[in-house]
Amino acid sequence: MSIDQAKAFLKELARNQELQQKLSDSATADERMQLAKEAGFEFTAEEFNNAHSELFAEDLDSVSGGGWACGTTCGTECGKLSQTVCG
C-alpha cells in the first residue's frame, strides 16, 4: 500500500467516468475501498487523505489569481470518497 497508489487512483478517477459512477453508486466506505482495490489500487484511508491533500496543494500551487477548480471529479467524487471512505 502506498500514497502513490492513492494518487494514481485519484488520477484514474478524474479521467474514468465509469469508475466515477461506480464510486457514486457505492453505499458504504467498505464498498468504495473495495472498488479501488478491484480497479487495481490498494491504499489505506490515511494514504488516501494524504494523497488527496498533496494533489490539492499541487493544483493550488499551479493556479494564479487565487481560484481553483479540478473539474467535476475532485469537486464531487474525490470529496465523496474522502469524506465517506476516509473520514
pLDDT band at 86 (very low <50, low <70, confident <90, very high): very low
Expressed as residue numbers, the domain containing 29 is 3-85
Q: How many domains does the chain have?
A: 1
Nearest to 39 by CA among 5, 83, 3: 5
Give the model confidence (pLDDT) of 42-83 as tens digits.
998 889 888 888 877 666 555 544 443 444 344 445 555 554
| CA atoms lying within 13 Å on the CB side of residue 12 | 17
Amino acid identity at 25: D
Q: What is the mean pLDDT of residues 9-26?
A: 89
CB of 85 closer than 8 Å to CB of 28: no
Can you tell me the distance from the alpha carbon of 80 to that of 29, in angstroms, rounded to the nearest whole number?
Answer: 10
Q: What is the mean pLDDT of residues 15-30?
A: 88
